[in-house]
Amino acid sequence: MAYELQVERRARRDIDRLPEAAYVRVQRAIDALADNPRPRGVRKLQAEAPLWRMRVGNYRVIYSVFDRERIVKVARVARRSERTYQDVL
């Protein structure tokens, strides 16, 4: 059974601002989270909330997984920099 994807408003804005090539890759990666919310290569972030980070080229998709409700909530999509994780944690 697949997970329900929920993309927060901020993440949707981040995705819409991506260059076209990156947009396609990131959108495919996010869509794949519905079938496997913890694909190979993801990392759990050290934060109070259970956040996960997925690399998609130079971009990072930060999301939460709620197994009981079967929901994946995408919180942020950002190009990797020193500030990438500041506003999410």
Where exactly are the structural domains of the chain? 4-79
What count of residues does the chain have? 89
Can you give the pLDDT at residue 87? 58
Give yes or no for residue 26 having a pLDDT over 70: yes
| Beta bridge partners of residue 76, listed in sequence order | 62
| pLDDT in the model for residue 77 | 94
Enter the pTM of the model. Answer: 0.84
d(CA 36, CA 63): 13
Query: Residues 6 or more apart from 1 whose CB is under 8 A from it?
Result: 70
Q: Residue 79 pLDDT more than 90?
A: no
pLDDT of residue 80: 75
Q: Which CATH class is domain 4-79?
A: alpha beta
Whether the pLDDT of residue 48 is over 90: the answer is no
**Which band of pLDDT confidence, cut at 50, 70 and 90, is reported for residue 81?**
low
Predicted local confidence at residue 10, as pLDDT: 95
